[in-house]
Chains A and B, each alone.
Chain A
Amino acid sequence: MSVFHYYVVAAILFSIGAGGFLLRRNILVMFMSVELMLNAANLCLVAASSSFDLARGSSFALVSIAVAAAEVGVGLAIIIAWFRLRPSVDAGDLQELRG
């Protein structure tokens, strides 16, 4: 198993995430898809890191996990604010701003 196998798995995970983001209309599912994409990147970082025998990539992955958690916190706060104004989780309802 070379490091490229890991890259391929990461690329597949990333594509599933990107596809989910673009095709699904439920905002929570779209948000989860982004998390999947971030995890694909983390997998890639850790795999590369161990292939070079460097700690650099793994520590990058740790940083990115922390950042992703912060992003989810803020994201859910905004989703709740949105839900209070308009009880819907359909991305199609985001259409007041147009033009």
Chain B
Amino acid sequence: MTPNDLALVGPILLPALAALLVILVDLLPGSQRSSGSFLLAVLGAAVSLGYTIHALMHDRVGLAFYGTMKIDRMALLITLFVHASAMLSLLLSKVYLDRRSDVEQPEYHAFVLTAACGMAMLAGANDLVNVFLGIELLSIPLYLLVAMRKHQSRSVEAGFKYLLLGAFASAFMLFGAALLFGASGKTMLTAIPSGIARIGNDTPLAAFGATMLLVGLLFKVAAVPFHMWTPDVYEGAPTPITAFMATATKAATFAVLLRLAPVLGASLGEERAADLLGGIAVLTMFVGNLGALTQLNLKRLLAYSSISHAGYLLVGLAALVRSYGSSAEAEAASSIVYYLGAYTAMSLGAFAVAVLIDGGKDREAVSDLAGLGKRNPLLAAAMTVFALALAGVPPTAGFFAKYYVFLSAVDAGLIAVAVLGVIASVIGLYYYLRILLTMYVDEAKPGHEAVVSRDALVGAVSLAAVAFVLLLGIVPKGFVEAMALAH
């Protein structure tokens, strides 16, 4: 371990340090529990975010800890999304928790930072041990955060379901990692393909191992058929945590999937791995979009929307596995990273609106949005941008994200997958437009008017997200080119 190693993994260490500080300060006698820990946590997330941006701008990249951590531009970009998501979720939490008294705030804030540390670790992991540690370091605090409203049975039930199924998925992941180690004699991700080739691929060990590892990771990104937990957990969790989980977990896990692409190719065969991922992607897009059609609860609707977005991202991953080693590889990888950035902004924004309409009474039905267009035109306009972006309407970032992902699939020869993806996103249009209709056309039922709280924090979060969604949509090319350097 050298000082340089520590500087490289700064974006991972800083949130952990901040989490410790939050807990320590809470122990001081007479400390202002909730407000003190909130300020410290936001400061910690902001410093981590600033450090990541600094590292990105000065190209502080390289291998750390004997190559087990690979901090490249891709890792830094994903860490940037994670820390931005953590900070915005903390700001939303302030609004959400101030209206409720059943949550221990210092623990809550410390767990958000710990999970962010795990996600950042996952983004830079280049070794099976670090992948496993990162997954657990993000999952265990999230189990607790979901169940944090411990007097509310919905929240505890959601946390419990997430824990049981998450532990089951982790066991699959660990067993898969063990088999991959057995098949290659290596734990470093970049060394596994050559290790498999050296030992000889005459046993199905590597194929089994890669598949089981994939199962564990697909569970975390909520891909079909491992998505069953998603609507329940997203609905039961405190809304800011739902926002954090939907965006940052997805980004961090896709970082690992990007790094695993050559391993999947080497152990399953490139064509077979791409077909498998393409099939899962198609299923995920359709199940997500069809499932969302009938949802009346806004958080549940966004959960199904999040499943469908995992599907679009998997289209990009299938293209990456198929085109690995060719010129189209960088294009596929950067399309996924672009998608993750766009998705983080638009999904966080939509959840910010959900935090605002709930008014401290856990009102989260889509119909609670009725009349928002008249009562609070600014917020309704922000929600319009997010819904159109999630649906993939130009000129938002959501459109270009889908466009680049489908383009890379076509370039990789996965034309059927791309066509089915376009059909699935047309189905998706229906329920996003329903949100707009509810806001602008429907009259609110008496007693169910959308809450118009002019909260500066939520306003700032929404505004930042709107700006990012539009900015990414208007100058998409520059962003993609910057991200193409990521690989």
Residues of A within 8 A of B (CB): 3, 7, 10, 14, 17-18, 21, 27, 30-31, 34, 37-38, 40-42, 44-45, 47-49, 51-52, 54, 56-57, 59-60, 63-64, 67, 70-71, 74-75, 77-79, 81-82, 84-86, 91, 94, 96-99
Contact = CB atoms under 8 A, between A and B. Distances in A.
B231 interface: yes
The SS class assigned to the B binding surface is helix
Contacts of A52: 185
Name the 8 nearest CB pairs between A and B, nearest first. Answer: A37-B171, A48-B182, A44-B178, A97-B232, A41-B174, A41-B175, A45-B178, A34-B167
B167 A94 contact: no
Contacts of A97: 154, 157-158, 161, 231-232, 235-236
A44 B144 CA distance: 30
Interface in B126-149: 128-129, 132-133, 136, 140, 143-144, 147
B421 to A, nearest CB: 26
B132 A64 contact: yes
A66 B468 CA distance: 40
A57 B185 CA distance: 9
B170 interface: yes
Contacts of A91: 164
A50 to B, nearest CB: 11
A56 B372 CA distance: 58
A17 B171 contact: yes
A23 B246 CA distance: 30
Given A78-B143, A99-B295, A34 B182 contact: no
A67 B160 contact: no
A63 B132 contact: yes
A79 B170 contact: no
Contact of B157 (A48, A49, A59, A94): A94
Contact of A27 (B128, B129, B164, B170): B164
Contact of B300 (A42, A81, A99): A99
A84 B177 CA distance: 37
Contact of A70 (B136, B151, B171, B297): B136
Interface string B159-174: 1110110011011101
A6 B62 CA distance: 38
Given A70-B136, A82-B156, A99-B295, 19 more contacts: A7-B179, A10-B175, A10-B178, A30-B164, A31-B164, A41-B174, A44-B179, A45-B181, A60-B177, A60-B178, A63-B133, A71-B170, A74-B140, A74-B144, A74-B163, A82-B157, A86-B153, A96-B157, A99-B297
Contact of B171 (A38, A60, A98): A38
B205 interface: yes
A69 to B, nearest CB: 11
A82 B152 CA distance: 9
Contacts of B187: 56-57, 60
A18, A59, A94 — which one has the most chain B CB atoms within 10 A of its CB?
A: A94
Given A34-B167, A52-B185, A54-B185, A41 B178 contact: yes
A70 B175 CA distance: 18
Contacts of B300: 99
A70 to B, nearest CB: 6
A98 B185 CA distance: 45
B140 to A, nearest CB: 5
Contacts of B153: 85-86, 96
A41 B177 contact: yes
Contacts of A30: 164
A82 B136 contact: no
B181 A67 contact: no
A64 B236 CA distance: 29
6 contacts: A14-B175, A18-B168, A37-B175, A42-B174, A54-B185, A71-B167
A31 B165 CA distance: 10
Given A37-B175, A60-B128, A86-B153, A94 B160 contact: yes
Nearest to A79: B160
Contacts of A27: 160, 164
Nearest to B291: A99
Contacts of B181: 45, 48-49, 56-57, 60
A64 B174 contact: yes
A63 to B, nearest CB: 6
Contacts of B297: 99
B150 interface: yes
A59 B181 CA distance: 12
A7 B185 contact: no
A27 B159 CA distance: 13
Contacts of B150: 81, 84
